[in-house]
Structure 1
Amino acid sequence: MLKRIRMETESAEISETKNSEGRRHKLQMDINMCRQKLQEQQQRNKKTESDLRKEKWRQETGLETWLTKYDNEMRQKQDEYDEIETAYTEEKRLLIELEERFEKLKEEYDKIMAERKAEEERLAMEKALRERRWQAAGHIQRFWQGYKVRKKNCNSSSSTCVEAVFDKRDIHAFSFI
């Protein structure tokens, strides 16, 4: 009995050992397979991480390039703007200066033109007065000549001479003065 128990025990032990060995072998294979999967996953992750790092570096480098380019363009545009603003300010200053000069010249021109107009009006009035004087002198001379002729005729003729010497037409001739 003891022998039988021992045999059963040994047989159970052997059976258990075989089962245990089989399970252990199966578990070891599972472990190896999991380790292999883990290594493969780690390699994929490392490759993905490396690719992502490269992409990140490429994007950061590209971004820095774009930022540098943008900064340079903005600096250039600012310089252009400053030049244009300086030119505009100078031209505006010159325009204001020219407008002030023009205003002074316009005032002088208006003053000169007003003086010329006044002088022309004065000369026109003097000319008109001179014309009237010449006409008046002509009328006076004609009147005087007519008077002398009538007086001469009167000395040789009758008593109605006094009225004939001062004719109404002659007196009317002086009404324009």
Structure 2
Amino acid sequence: LMERDAEISKKDAVISKLQNSLQLMEKTSRDFVTRTQQDAEKQSLSNIKTWEGKQACMQQDIDKLVLQLNTLVLENRQVEKGLRKKRFKVETEIENWLQKYDADMGEKQEELQEVGGAFGEEQQERADLEEAYGVLAEEYDQIMEARRRLEEAQREEARELGLQTGGAVVIQAWWRGYCVRKNMRAKAKGKGKAKGKGKKGK
């Protein structure tokens, strides 16, 4: 019985020791959990503050960006308005130029048709003139050939006339010389007869 009681006492001591150890562990766990929760809460508060600070900075950045965006949108609207006005002006000018181009091209087409008609008439006149020129050229060649032949005939006639004239001059000179010589002989004979009669009378 004493051994049993001793054993029970030992077991009770072990149980008491275990209970104390368990209580200590529970207290340690509670303290750890409490510290952990406090640390977590502190970290969470720190994170919240940090996030709030970052959020405030981000909000400021967002506000700045929104302001810049609104400014850019306003500027872009003004630029777009100016571009639309410029585009409308350019389109109006292009339309006017196209209308003017169409009108000018219509006039040029009419002028071209008129010029084409006049050119056709001039071509026909040119063909007629070339045909007439061919006839005139042929007649001119014939006239020049007849003229050349006439000039050759005139030169030949002049040459023959020159020869004839030269011969006539020679003949006339010879004839005049002959007549002079004849007269001189006749006069010489007359003087001789007169001298003979004078001697006979004496």
* TM-score, structure 1 normalization: 0.52
> Equivalences for 1:1-177 in 2 at 5 Å?
48=99, 55=107, 57-150=109-202
1:80 aligned partner, one-letter code: A
Deviations 1:8-35, CA, capped at 9 Å, x for gaps: xxxxxxxxxxxxxxxxxxxxxxxxxxxx
1:54, CA displacement in angstroms? Answer: 5.0
The 1:85/1:149 distance shift into structure 2, 3 A limit, reads same
- Give ranges in structure 1 of 5+ residues lacking alignment: 1-40, 151-177
Counterpart CA distance in 1 for 2:121 and 2:171 is: 72
Counterpart CA distance in 1 for 2:172 and 2:145 is: 40
Counterpart CA distance in 2 for 1:57 and 1:102 is: 63
- Give ranges in structure 2 of 5+ residues lacking alignment: 1-91
The number of equivalent residue pairs is: 108
Larger radius of gyration: 2
Counterpart CA distance in 1 for 2:105 and 2:187 is: 117
Could you say what the CA RMSD is over the residues aligned between the two structures, in angstroms?
Answer: 2.7
Counterpart CA distance in 2 for 1:147 and 1:122 is: 38
Counterpart CA distance in 1 for 2:148 and 2:192 is: 64
Higher relative contact order (CA 8 A, sep 6+): 1
1:143 aligned partner, one-letter code: K
2:133 aligned partner, one-letter code: Y
The 1:66/1:145 distance shift into structure 2, 3 A limit, reads same
Counterpart CA distance in 1 for 2:165 and 2:108 is: 81
Counterpart CA distance in 1 for 2:104 and 2:156 is: 75
1:57, CA displacement in angstroms? Answer: 4.6
The 1:52/1:137 distance shift into structure 2, 3 A limit, reads closer
1:138, CA displacement in angstroms? Answer: 0.4
1:55, CA displacement in angstroms? Answer: 4.3
The corresponding residue for 1:159 is none
SS of match in other structure, 2:177:
helix
